[in-house]
Amino acid sequence: MDSHLKKYGQLIISLSGVVAVWWLVSGLGLVNQNLFPTPPQVLAAAVELYRDGVLISDLQISLKRAAIGFTIGATLGVLVGLLTARVFAVSLLLEPFLTLLRPIPAIALVPIAIVWFGIGEGSKYFVIAYTVFLAVWLNTHAGASSVASTYIRAARSLGANRFREFFEVVVPAAAPHIVVGLRLGAALAFLSLVAAELSGASSGIGFRLQDARQFIQTDRMFVGLIQLGILGALLDSVFVLISRRLVHWESA
């Protein structure tokens, strides 16, 4: 209770400090208000976007893209990660290839994704899923290949077959790493979402940012940025909450 109060207190103080400085800098006319809007201007832009209905619909479409892309990427990442870590043949075939893919940033994939999947939803899912997949694969692989040998020895000497060894020992032992990968993946899903929406989209938060640029509506851009910040932070807290339950023995 006390720590909760402290946490929220800290949040409120920190945020109001930032808004105060922002207001001061923009309100005193130190900078051009067309380039750096004041908090009330941004609020007004948000209300306007809300009245137009695009604030919520952008949020919905962006969340949907992130969710679908994340689900595809995370599922593949966990499966492939477990296989490359525990099945020698798969690791031999896939690991070098995946290591080559790793340094390619998501944004570099946008042009080819548009050619392959068009400017519809497919290209967005692809770019997001790709980014999430790499993060989740990497962490799952690390977790599943570093399972303590005493766990494996214990499982075998207790008569567990390979199937049980995998599902009752390797997977839970790797779970803390997998959860870290999923959390990182969720953050990256947002990053690549915006990358995908900045070009070749007709809706979503990223599109709205790009759209506002055409008319130099910096207040609208600020709305989009704040939306992304809040959404990302909320999502991360949800992930922390879920992962604490999922791998409860880690904190014990």
Partner 1 sequence: MMQAALNLVVEPHSMPRTELGRIDVEGAAVSFKGPKGKRIEALAPTDLVIEPGSFVSLIGPSGCGKSTLLNAVGGFVPLSEGTIRLDGEPVTGINPDVGVVFQQYALFPWFTALGNVMFALKRFRLSKEERRDRAMAALKEVGLEGREANYPGQLSGGMRQRVALARTFVTSPKVLLMDEPFGALDAQTRVVMHEILLRVWEAHKATVIFVTHDVDEALILSDRAHIMSAGPGRIIETMEITDDRPRRAHQVTESFLRNRNHIIGLLRQPGADDH
Give the footprint of partner 1 on this chain (CB under 8 A). 150-151, 153-161, 164, 168-169, 172-173, 175, 247-249, 252
What backbone phi and psi angles, to 5 degrees, belong to 117? -115, 5
In this structure, are residues 195 and 110 in contact, taking their beta carbons and an 8 Å threshold? yes
Q: Of 53 and 159, which has the nearer Cβ to partner 1?
A: 159
Q: How far is the CB of 172 from partner 1 (least distance, A)?
A: 4
Q: Of 225 and 247, which has the nearer Cβ to partner 1?
A: 247
Altogether, the residues listed in the chain come to a count of 252
Q: How far is the CB of 140 from partner 1 (least distance, A)?
A: 16
| Neighbour-count burial of 203, counting CB atoms closer than 10 A to its CB (0-12 exposed, 13-18 middle, 19+ buried) | middle
**106-117 helix and 121-145 helix, angle to the nearest 10 degrees:** 130
* CA pair distance 31, 138, nearest whole angstrom: 44
- Quote helix, strand, coil % in the chain, to nearest 5: 85, 0, 15
* CA pair distance 144, 154, nearest whole angstrom: 16
Q: How far is the CB of 76 from partner 1 (least distance, A)?
A: 24
CA angle, 169 then 170 then 171, to 5°: 95
Distance from chain centroid for Cα 147: 26
In this structure, are residues 140 and 78 in contact, taking their beta carbons and an 8 Å threshold? yes
